[in-house]
Structure formats: structure tokens, C-alpha cells
């Protein structure tokens, strides 16, 4: 089989410090690759997502991206959106407009803004509905919690589909040890969250710092953490990922839901990855037109070539 040498990057998304966010593999030229080749490479990288950049097909788009988990292609995902944009800009990509980069993906066109070191994408439209009591009971059992510990629940769809759960306490979120095989059988991706002020944010931040430092050789390597308002975890066994370190699409849909129902303010910081030794920070904000923006920093970790 013949191969073509293609520019390649691995970037770390939703972190100011490399190796504390969510890694993403980016093939900067996916031209000519088949679906099977893309899927096989994504399975090989074994990262939560791998993206392939292509020439745009829609008017107004600067580039097109295809997004693969180890098990399936996604119509949209948040950390691949910011990471792919960062890699595209770093490789010399020039947007048509000075104020925004426009990404084409399976859900349509996604606007991305840049401000200093931050990139921010506009959350796609959200469809949401109330899950059945039967589903909630099955998922609660798979998570190892009581249904009474669920404060609110919604089925969320902004391309990827999630069951969103707002739980009673941050400690409940951090202590979860799900039955991933059962979640796979239910074909259910689950995003869980809890407000930090429910039980004292200082204790949570100290715990986040300790667990992140456990993955650093020296304590001075640990990042300075922004105080979070929400602690998030994402379980995605149906697409081959037991727990995703930091999830833009989930945080986008959680923000749209929780803001609309008054559970969180119109601007807040979400922490994710604590239990994996990561220190992801996602900035969420709803503007005066009601658009929710999802942002963070991206770090380039590996630059080179891949033969595909």
C-alpha cells in the first residue's frame, strides 16, 4: 500500500499548560484518504479524537474538518474544533475574515473567535428533551448512584448526543466509578456535573491541584488553576472512550441547558479531567443575543509528519 507524507500535529486543548488538557491528533492534509483509512488511524492514535483537515465545500468556510473517535466519526466536537483551528492557524492558515475563523463540519459552519491566547467557538443549536424515568434509573445504577442524587436531567443533542445529569455534590461527581460495559449496552454517553459552591470551592480546587500535580515530576510543573464554578465528567463508552479528559461539545450543551434553566450564571468556568490527573478549564459565556460561546487555550505539543 502506498502512503503519502502529510503534515501532522498533536495539540493539547483547554489548558494553559501542556499535558494537562485533552490531546488531539491533527492530520493537516486529509486529501485522498478514505473513511476506513481515517478511522483506522484514529483507532491507532487511541486519543479521544483525531481530525483530518480538508478544503472547504461550503461558501464562507475557511477549512473543513472530519472528526473521528477510536470507534466512530462525529458530526461535531468541541475540543477538536478548537484544536484543529489552532493547528490550522499555526500551519499558516489565513481566514477570510479578520474577526472570525469559520470551520465546516458535518453539523454545518462553526464560528471561532480568537482573543490573545484564547480560542472560542459558538455552540451549535441544541435540541433537548426530558429523559424517561426508566432510562434515568438504568443510568443511575450504571453510575453507582441513587436517583435522588440527580438534581436535574436532560437529553442533549448538538451533533453528539449526551444524557446530561446535574448531581447533588462535587464529591458525588468525583467519586463516580461507572460500569462502562453497562453504559455501552445502554448505548448511552453520559455527562455529569455539579456546582462547586454547593460544598466549598476552596476544598475542590485544592483537590484538583493535588491530583494534577500527581502527574507532574515536580510540583512546579502543575498549572495555575482558575477557580471553577462547575465540575464536569464525561463517560462515552459507546464510542470507545471510557472517560474523556475535557469535552467541548458536552460543556457547550450543558451550558445551554443549565443557563436556560437558571442553574448556572451566564458566564462561568468549568473544570474537567480532575480524576484523570488533568486540569482542564473551559470558559462558558452567553452573549446578549443568546449565543453561548465555549473557549479555552490550546498548546502545540508535537509537530511533524505522518505517513498515511
Q: What are residue 226's phi and psi, to 5 degrees?
A: -70, 140
Residues 110 and 240 in one domain: no
Q: For the chain, how big is the Rg over CA atoms in Å?
A: 19
pLDDT for residue 199: 46
Angle, vertex CA 73, rays to CA 68 and CA 77, nearest 5: 70
**Do the bridges between strand 50-54 and strand 63-68 make them parallel or antiparallel, or are there none, so unpaired?**
antiparallel
Cα within 13 Å of Cα(215), Cβ side: 17
Q: For 128-146, what is each residue's pLDDT tens digit? A: 999 999 999 999 999 999 9
pLDDT for residue 285: 97
Residues 142 and 203 in one domain: yes
* Nearest partner of 56 among 12, 104, 8, judged by Cα: 104
Residues 70 and 170 in one domain: no
**CATH code, domain with 21:** 3.10.310.10
- The chain-wide mean pLDDT, for the chain, equals 91
Residues 257 and 148 in one domain: yes
Domain count, the chain: 2
* Nearest partner of 63 among 96, 38, 35, 34, judged by Cα: 96
Strands (E), the chain: 5-13, 22-27, 50-54, 63-68, 73-74, 101-105, 108-115, 118-122, 127-129, 150-157, 161-167, 190-195, 230-236, 241-244, 267-272, 280-286, 292-307
Q: Domain residues for 113?
A: 5-122+297-307
pLDDT for residue 200: 45
pLDDT for residue 202: 42
Residues 115 and 145 in one domain: no
Residues 111 and 153 in one domain: no
pLDDT for residue 223: 60
Q: For 277-300, what is each residue's pLDDT tens digit? A: 999 999 999 999 999 999 999 999
pLDDT for residue 226: 65
Residues 152 and 270 in one domain: yes
Cell of 167: 448531581
Residues 115 and 141 in one domain: no
Q: Are 56 and 81 in contact (CB under 8 A)?
A: no
* Successive 10-residue mean pLDDT values, the chain, 308 residues: 89 96 98 97 96 98 97 93 98 95 96 94 96 97 97 96 97 97 97 81 45 42 74 95 94 98 97 96 97 97 97
Residues 277 and 144 in one domain: yes
* Nearest partner of 244 among 13, 10, 63, judged by Cα: 13
Amino acid at each position: 500500500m502506498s502512503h503519502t507524507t502529510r503534515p501532522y500535529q498533536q495539540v493539547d486543548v483547554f489548558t494553559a499548560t501542556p499535558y494537562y488538557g485533552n490531546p488531539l491528533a491533527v492530520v493537516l492534509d486529509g486529501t485522498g484518504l478514505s473513511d476506513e483509512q481515517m478511522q483506522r488511524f484514529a483507532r491507532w492514535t487511541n486519543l479521544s479524537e483525531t481530525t483530518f483537515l480538508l478544503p472547504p465545500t461550503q461558501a464562507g468556510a475557511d477549512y473543513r474538518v472530519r472528526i473521528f473517535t477510536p470507534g466512530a466519526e462525529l458530526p461535531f466536537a468541541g475540543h477538536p474544533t478548537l484544536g484543529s483551528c489552532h493547528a490550522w492557524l499555526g500551519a499558516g492558515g489565513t481566514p477570510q475574515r479578520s474577526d472570525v475563523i469559520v470551520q465546516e463540519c458535518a453539523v454545518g459552519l462553526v464560528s471561532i473567535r480568537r482573543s490573545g491566547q484564547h480560542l472560542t467557538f459558538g455552540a451549535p443549536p441544541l435540541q433537548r428533551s426530558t429523559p424517561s424515568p426508566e432510562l434515568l434509573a438504568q443510568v443511575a445504577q450504571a453510575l453507582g448512584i441513587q436517583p435522588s442524587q440527580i438534581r436535574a436531567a436532560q437529553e442533549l443533542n448538538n451533533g453528539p448526543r449526551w444524557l446530561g445529569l446535574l448531581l447533588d455534590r462535587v464529591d458525588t461527581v468525583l467519586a463516580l466509578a461507572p460500569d462502562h460495559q453497562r453504559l455501552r449496552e445502554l448505548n448511552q454517553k453520559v455527562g455529569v456535573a455539579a456546582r462547586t459552591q454547593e460544598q466549598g470551592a476552596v476544598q475542590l480546587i485544592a483537590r484538583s491541584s493535588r491530583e494534577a500535580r500527581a502527574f507532574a515530576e515536580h510540583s512546579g510543573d502543575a498549572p495555575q488553576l482558575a477557580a471553577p464554578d462547575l465540575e464536569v465528567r464525561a463517560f462515552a463508552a459507546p464510542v470507545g472512550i471510557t472517560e474523556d479528559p475535557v469535552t467541548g461539545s458536552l460543556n457547550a450543551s450543558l451550558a445551554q441547558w443549565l443557563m436556560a434553566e437558571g442553574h448556572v450564571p451566564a458566564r462561568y468556568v468549568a473544570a474537567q479531567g480532575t480524576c484523570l490527573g488533568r486540569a482542564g478549564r473551559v470558559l462558558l459565556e452567553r452573549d446578549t443575543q443568546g449565543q453561548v460561546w465555549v473557549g479555552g487555550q490550546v498548546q502545540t505539543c508535537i509537530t511533524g509528519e505522518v505517513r498515511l
